A and B are shown apart, each in its own frame.
Chain A
Amino acid sequence: MVQKSFTLKNKMGFHMRPAQVFVGAMAKYPADIKIEFNGKEIDGKSIMNIMASCMKCGSEITVKCSGENEEAMLAEAAAMIESGFGEE
């Protein structure tokens, strides 16, 4: 298992569009992805759970990947989160 922590930077947080893009990218990997936020563990492949968790700008989250190709999966997740999903 590999993991990394982030602070969400884009203004709107994990709303519909970022969640859509994120889930789409993560679905390509067979490994599992969990997002730890506020003491809860969220399935990183479920757009509904991501949106319902209400992660906002400034939220501290930890992303955990485990399984085949987990390093690459975490790297791609990190790139998306760190770039603020290409939003302000």
Chain B
Amino acid sequence: MLQGIGASPGYGIGKAIIIEDANLDYSSVKYSGAQEEKDRLYKAVEQFNEETREMAEGLKKSAGEKEAEILEGHITMLADPFMLSQMEENIDSGAVAEAAVDTVCTMFYDMFAAIEDEMMRQRASDVKDIKDTLIKILLGVKSIDISAVAKDSILIANDFTPSMTSQINGDNVAAIITEVGGVTSHSAILARAMGIPASLSAPNCMNVIQNGDMLIVDGFKGKVYINPSDDEINEFRQKQKVYLEEKEGLKVYFNKKTVTKSGLVKKVYGNIGKPDDAQNVIQNGGEGIGLFRTEFLFMDRDHEPTEEEQFEAYSTVAKTMDGKEVIIRTLDIGGDKAIDYLKIGREDNPFLGFRAIRYCLKNKELYKKQIRSILRAACFGDIKIMLPLVTCLEEVRQAKELIAECEQELENEGIKYRKAPLGVMIETPSAAIISDLLAKEVEFFSIGTNDLTGYTMAVDRGNANVSHLYDVFQPSVLRAIEMTIKNAKAAGIMVGMCGEAAANELLIPKLVEWGLDEFSVTPSSILKTRKTICECE
């Protein structure tokens, strides 16, 4: 058994294929004049660029943009005028093209490898990859066609260069093993992106393992079993089956509609805090964004963001979601989220104080900038506005007036915008109690269970002496939720939930029964939540 680093989860069972480094001995190549050698060099560079670009395209499909960028970086590195002129100088002083490539790349390899930095080591392996590929092209050496290996092959190499990994076909490769590299290496990142189990830095694996050996790779623990017994194989086949079933079990929910057994159609959305997170929602099968917290735009800085900055952030999310619903919650600061330059001041009871909608309605200029940027971003997708911490009708009416003012201003200024449906968060007992009245003012509700539980039970979840009272299953909290959903249904408006409770397996059946339409959860919980809903009556 070899003990490597478990770098990509899963179990791989199959036959070993050892990928030897190609023979790059160029000592028998004869110098055929400076001009000839330069021509050979530039022809090889051209072919290199062409092949690399092709591989990058392929990689974009199998593993994603980020992985492909590494290969595209190789083209930029080789286009370096300094590097190429150094190679030419070498050729002028009598070196064959292969030797020129070798000398110059090795010089840079040594420079990068000498720096104590993970990223620089990656650059060193990039340079080596460039060097080997160029020399292979110059010599006309063909290496093993990795893309054509048989099904259930386990590939073993000293290291997988980006140009090698780009040829791996996930259907045929059961696992990969390397002699060097760790969890952050290129091989590891790619293996995870393609869902191929990997054991890296398995000591001396190139010598210990023979071509055709039967292998088991445990990608969790990094263990490699060589020619295991039938019992061991059966044991791991069983483990593999359970793991894949679990993974598959959720995967089937990726493209599935969220429909209960009796045919009720629901929606599972994701909660996000930054524009980048929207991608995460899509990758996890989210049908929209049920809560876009906008505080991030205002935090970690010394002045408020401009309308342009906000517009950029909101429209980015709208574009990423490509027509799917995006619910933007307006600024929810105060309470535990203090921001110095907003000058809220010290309060004895910040959770009962000057926060969220209360602050925004008193700071109209700041609030209008946010509303204007949301209305402008609405041109790029299905954007809705949600007000936080509403406790009374006046707050909603005042906000509506401000929104109308912003629309009029944009109209007068000739700036493109679109009307955005308005909703409120139900996160105070007051809002739940008057939810029948609020339902007549707005187009949707979203129940924020975190604050609703805290305010209903009058408990600080961070205080260990009382935190046991913080429980969404307390009858008062459940009644507040049920009342809100029923009032929304009676008024015919959409009602969702964006607190942690929306992903709670025990609560979901009740929420479905009461008629909740939309469940907005952290992106990693989306598929599990959809599964739970689909299993409801």
> Are B83 and A48 in contact (CB-based, < 8 A)?
yes
Is A45 positioned at the interface, with any CB of B under 8 Å from its CB? yes
Q: Are A47 and B77 in contact (CB under 8 A)?
A: yes
In-complex Cβ contact of B73 among A12, A20, A27, A54 (8 A)? A20
CB of A3 within 8 Å of the partner chain: no
**Shortest Cβ gap from B300 to chain A (Å):** 10
Interface residues in A38-70 (C-beta closer than 8 Å to B): 43, 45-49, 51-52, 54
Q: Does B263 contact A (CB under 8 A)?
A: no
Q: Name which residue of chain A comes closest to B108, CB basis.
A: A48
| Residue contact B120 to A54, C-beta cutoff 8 Å | yes
| B115 pairs with A54, CB closer than 8 A | yes
Counting chain B CB atoms within 10 Å of each CB, which of A12, A45, A48, A54 scores highest?
Answer: A48
B108 interface neighbour in A23, A27, A43, A52, Cβ under 8 Å:
A52
**Residue B25, interface by CB 8 Å:** no
CB distance from B221 to the nearest CB of A (A): 33
**A47–B112 touching, CB < 8 Å:** no
CB distance from A43 to the nearest CB of B (A): 5
Among A20, A45, A52, contact of B112 (Cβ-Cβ < 8 Å): A52
Given A23-B76, A43-B82, A46-B82, 16 additional A-B pairs, CB 8 A:
A15-B119, A16-B119, A16-B123, A20-B73, A20-B76, A27-B81, A45-B82, A46-B80, A46-B83, A47-B80, A49-B80, A51-B112, A51-B120, A52-B108, A52-B111, A52-B112
* A20 / chain B contacts, CB cutoff of 8 Å: 73, 76
Q: State the CA gap A51–B76 with chains docked (Å).
A: 12
On chain A, the residues within 8 Å of B77 by CB distance are: 47-48
Task: Give CA–CA (A48, B123) in the complex, Å.
Answer: 9
Nearest-Cβ distance from residue B100 to partner chain A, whole angstroms: 15
Enumerate the 7 nearest inter-chain pairs by beta-carbon distance, A residue then B residue, closest first.
A46-B82, A52-B111, A48-B80, A47-B80, A20-B76, A46-B80, A48-B83
**A51, B123: Cβ atoms closer than 8 Å:** yes
Q: With the chains together, A45 CA to B80 CA distance in Å?
A: 8
Residues 1-31 (chain A) with a chain B CB within 8 angstroms: 12, 15-16, 20, 23, 27
In the bound complex, residues from chain B placing their C-beta under 8 Å from that of A15 are 119
Given the complex of chains A and B, what is the CA–CA distance between A54 and B108 in angstroms? 13
Q: A16-B73, A20-B76 are in contact. Are A48 and B82 (CB under 8 A)?
A: yes
* Smallest Cβ-Cβ distance to B123: which chain A residue: A51
Binary contact track B64-106/A, C-beta < 8 Å → 1, others 0: 0000000001001100111100000000000000000000000
Main secondary structure on B side of the interface with A: helix
Give chain B nearest CB distance to A36 CB in angstroms. Answer: 17
A-B contact pairs, 20 of them (CB 8 A): A12-B119, A16-B119, A16-B123, A20-B76, A23-B76, A23-B80, A27-B81, A45-B81, A47-B76, A47-B77, A48-B82, A48-B108, A49-B82, A51-B120, A52-B108, A52-B112, A52-B115, A52-B123, A54-B117, A54-B120
User: With a CB–CB cut-off of 8 A, which chain B residues contact A48?
Assistant: 77, 80, 82-83, 108
A47 and B111 alpha carbons, distance in the complex (Å)? 13
Chain B interface: which size bin?
10 to 19
Residues of chain B within 8 A of A43, CB atoms compared? 82
Residues of B within 8 A of A54 (CB): 115, 117, 120
Q: In the docked arrangement, what's the CA distance between A47 and B72, Å?
A: 14
- State in angstroms the CA–CA spacing of A16 and B108 once bound together: 14
Nearest Cβ on chain A to B328's Cβ, whole angstroms: 23
- Pick the contact of B81: A16, A46, A51, A52 (CB < 8 A): A46
Closest B residue to A27 by CB, please name it: B81
Chain B residue with the shortest CB-CB distance to A15: B119
How far does the alpha carbon of A21 sit from the alpha carbon of B324 in the complex, in Å? Answer: 33
List chain B residues, Cβ under 8 A from A16: 73, 119, 123
- Give the distance in Å from the alpha carbon of A4 to the alpha carbon of B262 in the complex: 71
Q: Whose C-beta in chain B lies nearest to the C-beta of A12?
A: B119
- List of A residues within 8 angstroms of B120 by Cβ: 51, 54
Docked complex: A62-83 residues within 8 A CB-CB of B: none
Q: State the CA gap A27–B115 with chains docked (Å).
A: 27
CB proximity of A30 to chain B, nearest CB, Å: 13
Chain B residues whose C-beta falls within 8 Å of the C-beta of A45 in the assembled complex: 81-82
In the bound assembly, the distance between CA atoms of A86 and B80 in angstroms comes to 23
Chain A neighbourhood of B112, CB < 8 A: 51-52
Residues of B within 8 A of A52 (CB): 108, 111-112, 115, 123
- B105's closest neighbor in chain A, by CB? A48
Q: Smallest CB–CB gap between A33 and chain B, Å? A: 12
Q: How distant is the Cα of A43 from the Cα of B73 in the complex, in angstroms?
A: 19
CA A32 – CA B324 in complex, angstroms?
50
Question: Would you give the shortest CB distance from B189 to chain A, in whole angstroms?
Answer: 15
